[in-house]
Chain A
Amino acid sequence: MFFDEEFETLPRPALEALQFKRLQNVLERVNANVPFYKTSFAKAGISPSDLKCLDDLQRFPFTTKQDMRDSYPYDLFAAPMEDIVRIHASSGTTGKPTVVGYTQKDIATWTDLMARSFVAAGAHKGDIIHNAYGYGLFTGGLGAHYGAERLGASVIPISGGNTKRQIMIMQDFGSTVLTCTPSYSLFMAEEAKAEGVDFKGLKLRVGIFGAEPWSEAMRDEIEQKLNLSAIDIYGLSEIMGPGVAIECIEAKKGLHIWEDHFIPEIIDPVTGQRLPEGELGELVITTITKQGIPLIRYRTRDITSLTYEPCICGRTHARIARMSGRSDDMLIIRGVNVFPSQIEAILVGIEGIEPHYMLIIDRQGTLDTLTVQVEVSEELFSDEIKVLQALSRRVEKEIKDMLGVTCSAKLVEPKTIQRSEGKAKRVTDNRTL
């Protein structure tokens, strides 16, 4: 089944011809409308007219998350503000988010690609889509929502949280498709079990899970516990949001990246050199149709590989492998992106806290937990329990307020956190996916 059969099965030569035409166009547009790109192309001694074939793309400079931060909030926008109809943002490394803007046409493209993704996952008109991705600045909720409506399915915009109610609604409303983070789906399964609800009695058929890394072992567990077919979806707000790439239900082997809108490359994260097909490296994406904030060679920091091998589903678009890590220190905790430097900035902002802290990430049952260990210095210490308890509550609250992630702050004795010679070890990740 296809949503847009013509484009999803476009023969490679025609697809690449289309990519080339669109790439030329986007290079011209950013060069003319975004001072950042004009400067960076000039510095690299290259201009859009130097693009003679698709392979020439690798001669153009990268765009990084730092570039987006430096352009906060709107400096990378290629369309005038009056044409921007939606703004989303994701967490940045210093407390300032990374901002993206969509024109009317960008929203239409995103909606179509998300509808395409739903169909690839085996969803169709008539499905009742239980959308438990968060609604708000995060792209997950609204992205999936629009795509589901475009498909003609019935959307339940339940967003995240209040798990008992989620289970009741899935039961009573007859939800057939579930969209959320993979870890939240397992949490739902546990809650349902505690409530005496058996997923085998529900109508769920397909689950579309993304926004955090997961594994084949987790897929088996989810499929068994939730009694549905689990599909991996990939996206990031900088590029668009959910629906950049998705597995097809026919093969469930690699995620088709919608190449008529995005050009993927895999590079060596250290040298920046492009790697051959099949090799593991950092995913770099160029958006070739976006108007609001087109990005040229955006370094996603996600580690994966790329294959152009034909897929049994008939789609001609390349597939990326399941994400296997990050080339930076970003942590994904319950779908929230967290950089250790953000937590450090918050801690340093709290009077008296020395920068001796440790982040411990665990998976208790199915949900990620974050514990922030803070050493109690003489300046922080008090002979009164209430003062120390107020301190840990303040750490918890500020992290929740700034980053949107719930954590538990634990005060520890000085010098208990490992000191290292070179780069301080700030993170202990005990999760096994």
Chain B
Amino acid sequence: MKVEQISIFIENKSGRLAEITRILGDAGINIRALSLADTTDFGILRLIVNDGNLAKTVLKEKGFTVNMTEVVAVEVPDTPGGLSSILQVLDRQQINVEYMYAFVERCAGNAVIIFRFDETDKAISVLKSENFNILEGERLYSM
């Protein structure tokens, strides 16, 4: 039910994103989804890739600080109100979203929302009980 996300610490200086994507490309790692959070001094790059462990290993070898976090991927129809329907449920159950990002599936035409919750297990059970489609990690990695 959970998806492995890797997060990478980057200083705000030129060329860091290019360096990370080059390392991943050279290792044959494919990026499925990404989000970049930034402050004036630093940023956090969050990625879902086809092989998280390999990505972590190659980045650490190059001196990056990397960690793995469990996030939840939820599929919603790519129609107006799709995201809202999830957020309303979460709000009612008082589940906080730390951050989220989204992409659209190539074939099925559905939107996939990646959520980082403070209470991941509770969020999953709430979403399941409301019949949202939570994607397995494996499906996402090989998408």
Chain B residues with Cβ under 8 A from A56's Cβ?
none
| A383-418 interface with B by 8 A CB criterion | 383-385, 388-389, 392, 410-416
Chain B residues with Cβ under 8 A from A383's Cβ?
5, 7, 44, 46, 67, 69, 116
B47: min CB distance to chain A, Å: 10
Interface string of B23-54 (1 = CB under 8 A from A): 00000000000000101011010100000000
Q: Which of B5, B37, B65 contacts A385 (CB 8 A)?
A: B37
Q: Which of A389, A392, A413 contacts B65 (CB 8 A)?
A: A413
Q: Known: A413-B9, A413-B10. Is A381-B39 also a contact (CB below 8 A)?
A: no
CA distance A382 to B66 in the complex (A): 9
B8: min CB distance to chain A, Å: 9
Closest chain A residue to B118, Cβ basis: A384
Chain B residues with Cβ under 8 A from A413's Cβ?
9-11, 16, 63-65
- Chain A residues bordering chain B, tally (CB within 8 A): 18
Say if the beta carbon of A40 comes within 8 Å of chain B: no
B125: min CB distance to chain A, Å: 22
CA distance A420 to B98 in the complex (A): 40
B28: min CB distance to chain A, Å: 24
Q: Which of B41, B63, B64, B98 contacts A384 (CB 8 A)?
A: B98
CA distance A377 to B39 in the complex (A): 18
Chain B residues with Cβ under 8 A from A414's Cβ?
63-65
Interface string of B70-99 (1 = CB under 8 A from A): 000000000000000000000000000011
Closest chain A residue to B41, Cβ basis: A410
CA distance A385 to B116 in the complex (A): 12
A395: min CB distance to chain B, Å: 12
CA distance A384 to B98 in the complex (A): 8
Q: Are B41 and A381 in contact (CB under 8 A)?
A: no
For A377, A385, A412, A416, the residue with the greatest tally of chain B CB atoms inside 10 Å of its CB is: A385
Q: Are B44 and A385 in contact (CB under 8 A)?
A: yes
CA distance A410 to B64 in the complex (A): 17
Q: Which of A376, A389, A392 contacts B9 (CB 8 A)?
A: A376
Q: Are A411 and B9 in contact (CB under 8 A)?
A: yes
Chain A residues with Cβ under 8 A from B5's Cβ?
383
CA distance A234 to B41 in the complex (A): 39
CA distance A181 to B52 in the complex (A): 55
Chain A residues with Cβ under 8 A from B10's Cβ?
413
CA distance A415 to B59 in the complex (A): 13
Say if the beta carbon of A172 comes within 8 Å of chain B: no
Q: Are B63 and A415 in contact (CB under 8 A)?
A: yes
Say if the beta carbon of A6 comes within 8 Å of chain B: no
Say if the beta carbon of A378 comes within 8 Å of chain B: yes
CA distance A383 to B63 in the complex (A): 17
Chain A residues with Cβ under 8 A from B66's Cβ?
378, 381
A353: min CB distance to chain B, Å: 13
Closest chain B residue to A411, Cβ basis: B42
Closest chain B residue to A415, Cβ basis: B63
CA distance A392 to B41 in the complex (A): 11
B64: min CB distance to chain A, Å: 7
Interface string of A363-379 (1 = CB under 8 A from B): 00000000000001110
CA distance A412 to B7 in the complex (A): 15
B52: min CB distance to chain A, Å: 13
Interface string of A125-150 (1 = CB under 8 A from B): 00000000000000000000000000
CA distance A411 to B37 in the complex (A): 15
Chain A residues with Cβ under 8 A from B16's Cβ?
413
Chain A residues with Cβ under 8 A from B63's Cβ?
413-415
Q: Are A384 and B67 in contact (CB under 8 A)?
A: no
What are 9 A-B residue pairs whose CB atoms fall within 8 Å in the complex? A376-B65, A381-B7, A383-B5, A383-B116, A384-B98, A384-B116, A388-B42, A412-B11, A414-B63
Task: Give chain A's interface residues, CB within 8 Å of chain B.
Answer: 376-378, 381-385, 388-389, 392, 410-416
Closest 5 CB pairs of A and B: A383-B7, A383-B69, A381-B65, A415-B63, A376-B9
